[in-house]
């Protein structure tokens, strides 16, 4: 068990114990107040009545001395005998409130009096009553027996049973409430404490276990192990489970980024190795055959330009992946941008005997549709797709660029169609990765496989998308979608 478990456990246990003590203390104070209030009452139970009857008979027969002996034999029933000066026969203190209630009860017409004023055989007059005692209920049987014995010694007969006005009701009698024993008071507190311990343990274990698992996952991730660990914990369905799933997604993303960086480093090394080898070969040829210096310098210049282009594309891709682009704050006409790109591409395509054309849908608003973003980046992305289509088209082939509107004018689509060899179905999802080369272009040295990757990052940054599919008539279809703004 870790430190967090014990913190949870002790905090929950402290809260439970505090609540138990608070509730128990409240009931104890309430019971204590009730006991103090009852302590100022006069006992009117049948045993108390019998005790008063016995004390009366004893006082009348034997005087104060006999009454003192009688009271001394009663262990728990405190029969009080108070004279006119307020002094108690046994020298015990008498509460003024109890004495006042006894005198008030004496003034009432009691069918079976429990408070009596009796003159003894020695001429002394005493007020006899029995205050309510906390131990009365537990000693009721013993007191009754002692009273009967005292009455037998005094030669008195036992008083008749009190009259019952109804089922379970006694006339003129107030039956004192039955008090629980201390054991019955402490048993619920002990049971509540044990239950608190159990629930505190279970709750602390419930919270600390996934946190320990998460800590172990962080330690494994710091060592390079990025495998998912919380997929099977979905049945818990709480925030800690969501945290575990987020951790799995984070490690999955990190694993993809690390794999991507490793693959990118490998591909960059491979792409740079070929032009560097050709540069070294051209330099060696220039040294060995000075008469071919011009051809060697031309080769060196061409390879230098190719390496410069590769480095530029890598920097652009790196900036796009890092999100280091300017805010999208310019509205421009997508149709005008597309016409400029097609015109530039047509000049290059005619040199190789290929043709390129643009088709605009019949929608009247498509020519005025605007897109918010950076026209230079978007133009470069579309140009990469168009140049890629021209490069893979056969001699005298035709490349078509179609501009259309979709989704009630909220989307514009730019579709680039060619008649080349197409792409294998298994490669359609990977052609937008850096340095990807289709199986039909593995031997080509023209290009580095970064154009479509750059285009995908640019379009994602503008809220668009790019997809590719093979045409049924042959060739590749690349479709670009962008959010559009319609003129007011």
User: What digits encode the pLDDT tens for the residues 155-181?
Assistant: 444 444 444 343 333 444 444 444 445
Secondary structure (DSSP) of 324-345: ------EEEEHHHHHHHHHHHH
Among left, alpha and beta (phi > 0; psi -120 to 50; other), residue 63 is left
Please tell me the predicted confidence (pLDDT) of residue 172. Answer: 40
Upper half-sphere CA count for residue 327 (Cβ side, 13 Å) = 1
Q: What is the pLDDT of residues 44-53, one digit of tens each?
A: 788 888 888 8
**Mean pLDDT of the residues in the chain:** 76
Helical (H) or strand (E) element with 405: strand 398-406
Q: Would you call 17 exposed, middle or buried from its count of C-beta atoms within 10 A (0-12, 13-18, 19+)?
A: middle
CA distance 95 to 39: 10
Provide the pairing of β-strand 330-333 with 125-129: unpaired
Percentage of residues of the chain with pLDDT beyond 90: 3
CA distance 133 to 266: 97
| Count of beta carbons in the 10 Å neighbourhood of residue 39 | 14
CA distance 293 to 283: 9
Strand order across the 80-82 sheet: 80-82, 125-129, 116-119
Q: Which residues, in sequence order, are CB contacts of 267 under 8 Å at separation 6+?
A: 434, 435, 449
Q: What is the pLDDT of residues 234-289, one digit of tens each?
A: 566 667 777 778 888 888 888 877 877 777 677 677 667 767 887 888 888 888 88
Tell me which of 203 and 421 has the higher pLDDT: 421
357 φ/ψ angles, rounded to the nearest 5 degrees: -140, 160
Q: Which residues, in sequence order, are CB contacts of 94 under 8 Å at separation 6+?
A: 80, 82, 86, 88
Residues in the chain: 488
Tell me which of 33 and 91 has the higher pLDDT: 91
């Amino acid at each position: 068990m870790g430190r967090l478990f014990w913190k949870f456990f002790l905090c929950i246990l402290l809260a439970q114990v505090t609540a138990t003590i608070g509730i128990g203390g409240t009931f104890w104070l309430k019971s204590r107040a009730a006991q103090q209030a009852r302590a100022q009452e006069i006992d009117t139970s049948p045993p108390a009545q019998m005790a008063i009857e016995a004390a009366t008979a004893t006082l009348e027969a034997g005087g104060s001395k006999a009454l003192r002996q009688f009271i001394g034999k009663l262990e728990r029933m405190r029969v009080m005998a108070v004279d006119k000066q307020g002094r108690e026969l046994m020298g015990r203190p008498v509460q003024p409130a109890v004495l006042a209630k006894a005198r008030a009860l004496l003034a009432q017409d009691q069918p079976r009096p429990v408070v009596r004023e009796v003159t003894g055989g020695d001429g002394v007059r005493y007020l006899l009553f029995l205050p309510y005692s906390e131990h009365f209920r537990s000693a009721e049987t013993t007191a009754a027996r002692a009273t009967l014995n005292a009455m037998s010694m005094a030669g008195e007969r036992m008083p008749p049973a009190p009259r019952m006005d109804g089922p379970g009701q006694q006339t003129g009698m107030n039956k004192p409430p039955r008090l629980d024993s201390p054991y019955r008071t402490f048993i619920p507190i002990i049971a509540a404490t044990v239950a608190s311990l159990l629930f505190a343990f279970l709750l602390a274990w419930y919270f600390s276990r996934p946190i320990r698992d998460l800590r172990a996952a962080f330690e494994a991730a710091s060592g390079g192990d990025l495998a998912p660990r919380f997929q099977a914990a979905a049945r818990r369905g709480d925030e800690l489970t969501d945290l575990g799933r987020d951790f799995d997604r984070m490690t999955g993303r990190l694993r993809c980024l690390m794999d991507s960086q490793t693959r990118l480093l490998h591909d960059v090394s491979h792409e740079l190795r070929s032009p560097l080898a050709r540069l070294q070969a051209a330099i060696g040829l220039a040294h060995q055959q000075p008469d071919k210096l011009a051809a060697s310098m031309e080769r060196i210049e061409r390879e230098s330009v190719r390496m410069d282009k590769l480095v530029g594309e890598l920097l652009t891709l790196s900036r796009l992946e890092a999100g280091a682009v300017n805010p999208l704050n310019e509205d421009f006409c997508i149709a005008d941008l597309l016409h400029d790109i097609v015109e530039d591409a047509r000049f290059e395509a005619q040199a190789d005997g290929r043709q390129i054309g643009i088709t605009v849908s019949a929608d009247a608003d498509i020519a005025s549709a605007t897109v918010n973003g950076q026209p230079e980046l978007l133009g470069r992305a579309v140009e990469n797709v168009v140049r890629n289509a021209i490069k893979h088209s056969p001699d005298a082939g035709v490349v078509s660029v179609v501009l259309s509107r979709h989704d009630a004018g909220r989307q514009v689509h730019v579709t680039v169609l060619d008649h080349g060899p197409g792409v294998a179905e298994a490669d359609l999802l990977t052609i937008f990765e850096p340095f990807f080369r289709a199986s039909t272009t593995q031997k080509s040295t023209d290009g580095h496989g970064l154009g479509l990757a750059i285009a995908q990052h640019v379009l994602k940054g503008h809220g668009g998308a790019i997809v590719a599919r093979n045409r049924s008539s042959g060739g590749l279809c690349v479709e670009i979608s962008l959010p559009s703004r319609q003129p007011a």
